[in-house]
Amino acid sequence: MAAAEQEKLEALRQEVRAWLKKNLPEGWGSPAYVPPERGSKEAQELGKDWQKRLYEAGYTGFGIPTEYGGIERSRAEVAVIREEMQRTGTPPPAGSLGPMIVIPTLLRYGNEEQKKRFIPKILNGEESWCECFSEPDAGSDLANIQKTGVRDGDEWVVNGQSVWTSGSKFADWGVAPVKTDPNAPRHRNLSYFVFDCKSPGFEVRPLKQMTGDAEFSETFFDNVRIPHANMIGEEGQGWYVAMATLEAERGGGIQFVAPSRRIEATTLGGVDNYVELAKNTKRRGGIVWDDPLFRQRIAQFAIENEAIKHGRERMRVKAMKRQLTGHEQSIGSVFSREKNQRQANMVAEIMGANIQFMRGDPRSLDDGSWTYTFLRTRGNTIETGTTEVNRGIIAERLLGLPRNRM
């Protein structure tokens, strides 16, 4: 690399460091910092503000055309920004579903007007999004969506119910595939809409998980009126638009999401964290880290994380080259989600009886975050398409094996 370019990158690194120092919440990284409760309004506000700051500083929005608010950076620059953000960690950006799934969907299927209207406000943190996909009888069989839309002049009148709606508690906008032609065959009977969550008739009822959090909701559509102009793609094309959304989500949608340690940690699992844990945990009189069996397993996770990291980097590079990411996202999804569970299981083994401590017990480590992770990861191989559905996609779409639905 030319010396001048090296110098430019080093200057950027210093700039990002100074910026982080100035912009991270007070006390960040020290025990004095108490983050707002997960899923609370405060957490949402903090995340929105963080996204806004990042965007204004030019530290997110890569790979998106500038006419929709995207920011041009070289791959090397992006890497520097990402490294610095990962070094300090950052507040989780709020409403990451917008960059994660809505931007890729709009880039692929939205018209000019839609892209100009929605993408900039996702990037600057102004509007957050929810995803009304699954229904009680349309889980793995998503094509079985029963939510109906009837055309009335320039609007569609939508009725029905979603379940496991992600991001719905504080969302400003939502995406939803809707059955607009009850007589058309499967996969040709849906149309895909974006809608304003303040629309009369749209109701959100939070669903509590066994972790105690309510990350998802049941959402109800009672004569919700959606302008025809909010249809993404053609009428009857909704299944394919929905697949674009899911492809992005299955890959972790990482290509447009602002860099932060937390986002990486969800799949890379913070090997450093459990190396620390292993070094600080005594079992049967010895340190876990000295146990050759645990050392082998922890090292193996570090090895597997390399593959995941490169899968993600491949997506980012594709996005920057304006190339579509496709069904290969299912490979990363199956592998990293199952790995998450295996990893949580191993951490539980390291902790032994201490894995029993839940959040709120003063004796718990990291306020019970490992136990939380153990319980939370049970859903990892279910959400955004079960690993069975994803294996089917790999077998049929990528490998061309005969069709067998699931």
Partner 1 sequence: MAIEYGLNEEQEMLKTMARDFLANECPSTHVRELMEDETGFDPELWKKMAEVGWLGLVFPEEYGGSGMNFRDLTILMEEMGRAVLPGPFVSTLLQVGMPVLAYGTEEQKNEILPKIASGEVIFTLALTEASASYDAAAVQVKATADKDVYILNGTKLFVPDAHIADYMLVVARTGDGAKAEDGITIFIVDGKSPGISSTVLKTIANDKLCEVVFNGVKVPRENILGELDRGWSEVKKIVERAAVGKCCEMAGCIQQALDMTVEYAKERKQYDRPIGSFQVIQHYCADMATDVDGTTLSAYQAAWMLSEGLPCTKEVAVAKAWAGEACQRVMALAHQIHGAIGVTIDHDLQYYTRRAKAAEVTFGDARFYREIVAQELGM
Q: Beta-carbon neighbour count of residue 193 at 10 Å?
A: 26
CB of 170 to partner 1, least distance (A): 21
Binding residue for partner 1, selected from 140, 148, 159, 199, defined by CB under 8 A: 140
Assess whether 7 carries a catalytic annotation. no
Q: Which helix (H) or strand (E) holds 224?
A: strand 216-227
CB of 171 to partner 1, least distance (A): 19
Contacts of 25 (CB under 8 A, 6+ apart): 33, 46, 91
Interface map 268-307 toward partner 1 (x if CB under 8 A): --------------xxxx----------------------
Binding residue for partner 1, selected from 163, 224, 231, 320, defined by CB under 8 A: 163
CB of 168 to partner 1, least distance (A): 14
CB 126 within 8 A of CB 117: no
Contacts of 253 (CB under 8 A, 6+ apart): 96, 97, 99, 100, 101, 104
Judged by CB under 8 A, does residue 359 bind partner 1? yes
* Catalytic residue selected from 249, 264, 304, 328: 249
Length of the chain in terms of residues written: 406
Which positions from 89 through 118 interact with partner 1, judged by CB under 8 A? none
CB 281 within 8 A of CB 298: no
CB 304 within 8 A of CB 340: no
Nearest residue to 370 via CA among 302, 276, 259: 276
CA distance 150 to 225: 10
Binding residue for partner 1, selected from 45, 72, 272, 361, defined by CB under 8 A: 361
Q: Contact region for partner 1 (CB under 8 A) — 78-86, 118-126, 137-145, 310-318?
A: 137-145
Catalytic residues: 249
Residues that bind partner 1 (CB under 8 A): 134, 137, 139-141, 144, 163-164, 207-210, 212, 216, 282-285, 341, 345, 348-349, 352-361, 363-364, 368, 371, 374-375, 378-379, 381-383, 386-388, 391, 405-406
